[in-house]
Amino acid sequence: MANAQVLVPYFSAVVMDDMGLAVSRSPLERLEFDNVALKKLPLDISEEPGPRRVTGACFSRVKPQPLLKPRFVAVSNDALALLGLNAMEVLNDPLGPEYLSGSKVMPGSEPAAHCYCGHQFGSFAGQLGDGAACYLGELKNPSGRQADGRKVLRSSIREFLCSEGVFALGVPTTRAGSLVTSDSKVVRDVYYSGNPRKERCSVVLRIAPTFIRFGSFEIFKATDENTGRQGPSYGHDAIRGQMMDYVIETFYPEIQQNHTDRVERNVAFFREVMLRTARLVAQWQCVGFCHGVLNTDNMSILGLTIDYGPYGFMDRFDPDFICNASDNSGRYSYQAQPAICRWNLARLAEALDPELPPGRAEAVLDEYLPLYNTFYLGNMRKKLGLLRREEPEDEMLITELLQTMHNTGADFTNTFRCLSQIPCPTEGDGEAEEGVIKMAKDLLLEQCASLEELKAANKPSMDPRELAMLMQLAQSNPSLFQMISDRRTVAMQLEKDELHACFCSRLQSVLVRCVLINLIMCCDWCRERLAREVEGQSDVQALQEERVKVMDGTNPRYVLRNYIAQNAIEAAENGDFSEVSLRSSNDVTRTVGFSKGRKKRAVSAFTCFSGFPSHGLIFLPSLCVIGPAGVEGSGKAFLYPAGSGAAELAGPEGGRGAEE
């Protein structure tokens, strides 16, 4: 891990104002905004405050509400470099916190709020739009909700850390350039317990080529037959075509160049969005990431991870893992993510009709699942170090491994990290090799949950009497049952009840022993598969070294576990930003081993960016080297300060409320 202190002297340009006086301009003031989106898409010029229906426009002008005494908590050098900025220059700019929080408008910036709609938890919610965010502007090539429009320090830290952490994992994402907090306060009921408290207003600077999302095209939706809601620009079909032209010409220029027929161009565009979405969700699944709120308004048209809310990384592997406390049905659970993304693509296809013929869209959607499986299996083979050949049995091996991890409560991140310790079979010293294999198996067994943890994990959340009532209702009155529950929820509760009873029975020790034996058997299956991997290889040692390098570059040592983020939040709320900002270049190298979610070892938030050594991430005030390449883009960069008070596009459905 390379680390270095970075000290870049602050400098500014000197220009002449209209009176002929010398005026210094900081790097932020020299940013060249062109704001193409506001020129090419309809803009509602009204600055009337408060939520209102915005018809026939994609953006609405807003005036960001300034914060009281804004100040930096952290900045990301890599993210700011996308704008042609240097982190230390920004930190040394006395107006930096005001500019990047939207409290003061940069020269050339045109603050606006984006109007979009969305299907939320399967139901069309009508007009939404930027409620706690606003568009600051769009740069030349550098390299609405009904709420108060404010984010607090707690949610802002989670967004900042995860945006940069997911980038470090090599997953496409919007970036977080800076995090600014202030003395401005809002009241939030964090746990919806009736005990609200004041929290600091904070702002994250979001950076991406565009923030256009699936829901951006749903503003043209006809009245929904279930909710009765309608898109605010229904009937303005010309704007739909205008939006598609803008998105394709700007962000998919190769598609624009390769297709003269408009329909064929639009089909190619939808296919590329589908492909990027399939690849993105496959990457999520392979690092154990659960988004939590995969509504259509949280799906990027570029295939980026966007809108970090109640996200979570799995600790122990559980396909039914739910990170959103509001998701009672498990609609956005870990294992549901691939199917939900396809469902969202289908809603996008509906929104693009008639620009995208339904028959052609359906044909593209049929390609989604095979593509997703290809991406997923490709990633999983790398996680297992299977580099030389692809076998049909690989899918079964992966399934068996994940099932065994589920049964043992094995830690998802740590287990895959441990697998690189299993060596390829050789014809060398058999006794020494057996010793290495035993150590690898022991290390894997350490990642399994204890009996008490398995009992707790499989304890039904539903009262037995309620469960019995629902089962009886499912038989006697299916229509009423479907109104208050669903078969999947009941089945999950029954499965947990059965497992919990087993772990609490007199046979618990035998059961646990059998489950652990299954994990050891998985190691043996991996060895058998590796034996076929080395067939015909003249230098097995070179293959093993390559395999370990690929596995360690694919399986992170750290992810942003909830307790790590919570430690950073609690410290920051007490005025200590050291868990968010890197204190010294030696901190990361001193932290070794695994971050075990259940045991809550002392792992700082910044450590989560050390999984892959490559490029640089600057926090206050030092450099920690991390992560692979940046987000895909067109050479454009949008600036969005999340929490800047742009609530003017709020729809009648309300917003996120206290969770912000």
For residue 57, which phi and psi values (nearest 5 degrees)?
-150, 150
Are the C-beta atoms of 246 and 338 separated by less than 8 Å?
no
Angle (CA) 459-464-465 rounded to 5° is 160
Q: How far apart are CA 628 and CA 83, in angstroms?
A: 18
> What one-character DSSP code corresponds to residue 288?
T
Out of 297, 318, 327, 411, the active site residue is 297
Q: Two tokens at 527? A: 């060895």
Cis peptide before 354, with omega less than 30 degrees from 0? yes
Nearest alpha carbon to residue 640 among 177, 201, 303, 41: 177
Q: Which residue's entry shows tokens 């589920």? A: 406
Distance CA 270, CA 275 (A): 9
Name the strand (E) or helix (H) holding 395: helix 393-408
Number of residues written out for the chain: 660
Give the angle subtended at the CA of 132 by the CAs of 131 and 133, to the nearest 5°. 100
Can you tell me which residue has the tokens 């045991």? 599
Task: Output b/e per residue, 408-430; b: 16+ Cβ within 10 A.
Answer: bbbbbbbbbbbbbbbbbbeeeee
CB 652 within 8 Å of CB 126 = yes
Which residues have C-beta within 8 Å of that of residue 252, sequence separation ≥ 6? 269, 272
Residue in 234, 239, 221 with CA at minimum distance from that of residue 125: 221
- Across 586-595, b (16+ Cβ under 10 Å) vs e yields ebbeebeebb
Active-site annotation holds for 237: no
Q: Which amino acid is at 276?
A: R
Residues marked active site are found at 297
